[in-house]
């Protein structure tokens, strides 16, 4: 005959098998194991009332039942944790039917974007791309380019000097000398890169900006080659309708020298109040000239045998012109809303 211990064991087992939640677990504990009201501790309390010869085996069997109940409680508790964990996992499994998140796609920055376009045009004309250091020898930046020691550009308020004989290059022109020393004519190169000047940043100046230098050296190169090349280039960049104008100018490293203007790409010279050309109808776009014999000599090239032309342009300025920017510093503020619009 099953006695009350057997009956209680059956209840314990049935209750344990039915545990599905934290509340069930709590109820199980209260019903069977709690010191005050639990049914198993309740059986222990009956021991003193039993005949002495039954007490020991009764106590032992209740003890076994308590151990069983405690084990079942633990197992249910563990099982519950597992299923809660599974439930959480289930909730975090991505729903493959949802539309995906679009990662914002970056764009090429407006400065290298323009620089690449210009490089493309010259690459099609058979030019190579050259490179030189941004920390440059004072000699290559100035002396070798026929810029004498008293020239204002060499003063400290214009140039970042970085120790004896070195500076941050103020233009890409020193690469002319490096390239002439590295290569033999015919030379046809362009040199894109950063240059530095001690300018306060304002709407038209930044202490670092980008230039592209050009250099051609060969036998019989003359001013007509310079004109033809730059006209071809400027029409390719600004459109076939663009008019190009050469004005006499002065650079220490070219003789003769010319500044080159294009007809205003915004108003074409038709708007007397044009925001870009101010009504002048022309925009200065680059400096150029025939390479000075002294510069050829610095590059190890005999000016009796060879001649050449060179030019230099500011990439930032061209970017401003092409995009109608009023402030050159837009390029360097790193503002996503600006960069987005430059796509
Ligand atoms: N180096 C000049 C500057 O930074 C630009 C320049 C003018 C470069 C005439 C040239 C040139 O090669 O022929 O202002």
Work out the mean pLDDT of the chain and round it to a whole number: 92
Alpha helices in 239-325 (DSSP H): 293-298, 315-323
From CA 25, how far away is CA 69, in angstroms rounded? 12
Please tell me the residue having the least CA distance from ligand 1 atom 6: 312
Alpha helices in the chain (DSSP H): 4-17, 22-28, 39-45, 52-92, 110-124, 138-141, 174-182, 223-238, 293-298, 315-323, 336-341
Provide residues with CB under 6 Å of ligand 1. 171, 173, 213, 251, 254, 287-289, 310-312
114 against 149, higher pLDDT? 114
Residue 342 confidence (pLDDT): 78
What is the average pLDDT across 128-157?
Answer: 91
Ligand 1 atom closest to the CA of 195, numbered from 1? 4
Residue 338 confidence (pLDDT): 87
Res 1 pLDDT > 70: no
Please tell me the residue having the least CA distance from ligand 1 atom 4: 171
Span from the CA of 257 to the centroid of ligand 1 (angstroms): 10
Please tell me the residue having the least CA distance from ligand 1 atom 2: 312
Which has the closest alpha carbon to 173: 193, 203, 159? 193
From CA 151, how far away is CA 72, in angstroms rounded? 95
What is the average pLDDT across 284-312?
Answer: 98
Q: Classify 89 as helix, strand or coil.
A: helix
pLDDT digits (tens, 9 = 90+) for 163-222: 899 999 999 999 999 999 999 999 999 999 999 999 999 998 999 999 999 999 999 999
Span from the CA of 190 to the centroid of ligand 1 (angstroms): 12
Sheet-wide strand order for 208-218:
128-129, 187-196, 208-218, 307-314, 282-291, 254-263, 244-251
Span from the CA of 287 to the centroid of ligand 1 (angstroms): 5
Res 326 pLDDT > 90: no
Residue 311, Cα to own-chain centre: how many angstroms? 31
Span from the CA of 307 to the centroid of ligand 1 (angstroms): 17
Largest CA distance in the chain: 133
Cis peptide before 134 (omega within 30 of 0): no
Ligand 1 atom closest to the CA of 170, numbered from 1? 4
Span from the CA of 260 to the centroid of ligand 1 (angstroms): 11
Helix 110-124 to helix 223-238 angle (10° resolution) is 130
Res 126 pLDDT > 60: yes
The pTM for the full model equals: 0.72
> Homologous superfamily of 110-340 in CATH?
Bira Bifunctional Protein; Domain 2 (3.30.930.10)
- Structural domain boundaries of the chain? 2-92, 110-340
Q: Mutate which of 153, 230, 287, 298 to test ligand 1's pocket (most atoms within 8 Å of Cβ)?
A: 287
pLDDT digits (tens, 9 = 90+) for 231-287: 999 999 999 999 999 999 999 999 999 999 999 988 888 999 988 888 999 999 999
Res 13 pLDDT > 70: yes
Q: What share of the chain is helix, strand, coil (3-state, %, to 5)?
A: 45, 20, 35
Please spell the DSSP secondary structure of 124-165, one letter per residue: HTTPEE----SEEEHHHHTGGGT--TT-GGGSTTT--B-STT
pLDDT band at 101 (very low <50, low <70, confident <90, very high): confident
pLDDT digits (tens, 9 = 90+) for 55-89: 999 999 999 999 999 999 999 999 888 888 888 88
What is the average pLDDT across 85-114?
Answer: 85
Ligand 1 atom closest to the CA of 215, numbered from 1? 12
Span from the CA of 312 to the centroid of ligand 1 (angstroms): 4
Question: 160 — phi, psi (to 5°)?
Answer: -85, 105
The DSSP symbol for 183 reads: S
Q: Mutate which of 171, 189, 315 to test ligand 1's pocket (most atoms within 8 Å of Cβ)?
A: 171
């Amino acid at each position: 005959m099953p006695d009350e211990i057997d009956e209680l064991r059956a209840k314990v087992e049935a209750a344990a098998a039915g545990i599905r939640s934290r509340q069930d677990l709590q109820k199980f504990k209260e019903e069977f194991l709690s010191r005050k009201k639990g049914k198993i501790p309740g059986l222990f309390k009956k021991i003193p009332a039993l005949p002495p010869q039954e007490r020991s085996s009764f106590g032992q069997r209740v003890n076994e039942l308590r151990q069983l109940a405690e084990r079942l409680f633990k197992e249910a508790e563990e099982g519950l944790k597992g299923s809660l964990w599974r439930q959480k996992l289930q909730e975090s499994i991505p729903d493959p039917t949802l539309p995906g998140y679009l990662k914002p796609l970056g764009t090429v920055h407006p400065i290298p974007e323009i620089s690449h376009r210009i490089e493309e045009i010259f690459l099609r004309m058979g030019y190579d791309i050259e490179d030189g250091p941004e920390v440059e020898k004072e000699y290559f930046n100035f002396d070798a380019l026929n810029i004498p020691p008293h020239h204002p550009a060499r003063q400290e308020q214009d140039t970042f000097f970085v120790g004896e004989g070195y500076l941050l290059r103020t233009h890409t022109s020193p690469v002319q000398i490096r390239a002439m020393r590295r290569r033999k004519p015919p030379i046809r190169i362009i040199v894109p890169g950063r240059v530095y000047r001690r300018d306060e940043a304002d709407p038209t100046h930044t202490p670092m900006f980008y230039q592209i230098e050009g250099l051609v050296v060969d036998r019989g190169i003359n001013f007509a080659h310079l004109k033809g090349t730059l006209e071809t280039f400027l029409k390719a960049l600004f459109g076939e309708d663009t008019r190009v104008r050469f004005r006499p100018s002065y650079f220490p490293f070219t003789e003769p020298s010319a500044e080159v203007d294009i007809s205003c790409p915004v108003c074409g010279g038709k708007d007397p109040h044009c925001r870009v050309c101010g009504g002048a109808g022309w925009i200065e776009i680059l400096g150029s000239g025939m390479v000075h014999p002294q510069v050829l000599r610095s590059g190890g090239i005999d000016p009796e045998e060879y001649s050449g032309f060179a030019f230099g342009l500011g990439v930032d300025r061209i970017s401003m012109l092409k995009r109608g920017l009023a402030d050159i510093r837009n390029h360097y503020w790193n503002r996503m809303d600006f960069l987005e619009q430059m796509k």
